[in-house]
Amino acid sequence: MVQNKDLKRNYSIGIFDSGIGGLTVANAIFKRFPNEKIIYFGDTAHLPYGDKSADSIRFYSLKICKFLLEQNCKMIVIACNSASSAAYDTLLEFFEGNALFVNVVDPLVHSVSYKGFSKVGVIATKATIRSDIYRRKLKTIDPDLEVVQLATPLFAPMIEEGFHNNQLSTEIIKNYLSHEMLNGIDALLLACTHYPLIKDSIDQFFEGKIEIFDSTDVVADVVEEKLNKSSLNSEKLQGTHEFYVSEFTESFAETTKVFCNKELELIEKAIWT
* Span from 48-56, 232-240, 247-255, 260-268 in contact with ligand DGL (CB under 6 A): 48-56
Closer residue to ligand DGL in complex, CB, 16/117 = 16
Closer residue to ligand DGL in complex, CB, 98/128 = 128
Catalytic residue among 65, 73, 192, 260: 192
214 binds ligand DGL (CB under 6 A): no
User: With contact defined as beta carbons under 8 Å apart, do 84 and 105 qualify?
Assistant: yes
Closer residue to ligand DGL in complex, CB, 98/121 = 121
246 binds ligand DGL (CB under 6 A): no
C-alpha 41/C-alpha 232 separation (Å) is 21
* Span from 14-22, 60-68, 129-137, 200-208 in contact with ligand DGL (CB under 6 A): 14-22
As measured in angstroms, the least distance from the Cβ of 235 to ligand DGL is: 32
As measured in angstroms, the least distance from the Cβ of 7 to ligand DGL is: 26
DSSP string, the chain: ---GGG--TTSEEEEEESSSTTHHHHHHHHHH-TT--EEEEE-TTT--GGGS-HHHHHHHHHHHHHHHHHTTEEEEEE--HHHHHHHHHHHHHHHBTTBEEEESHHHHHHHHTTS--SEEEEEE-HHHHHHTHHHHHHHHH-TT-EEEEEE-TTHHHHHHTT--SSHHHHHHHHHHHT-GGGTT-SEEEE-STTGGGGHHHHHHHTTT-SEEEESSHHHHHHHHHHHHHTT---SS--S--EEEESS--HHHHHHHHHHHSS----EE-----
As measured in angstroms, the least distance from the Cβ of 49 to ligand DGL is: 4
Instruction: Give residues 180-209 in contact with ligand DGL (rule: CB under 6 A).
Output: 192-194
216 binds ligand DGL (CB under 6 A): no
Catalytic residue among 65, 73, 80, 260: 80
73 is catalytic: no
107 binds ligand DGL (CB under 6 A): no
Among 48, 107, 121, 196, binds ligand DGL (CB under 6 A): 48
The residues that are catalytic are 80, 192
The binding site for ligand DGL (CB under 6 A) comprises 17-19, 21, 47-50, 80-82, 125, 128, 156, 192-194
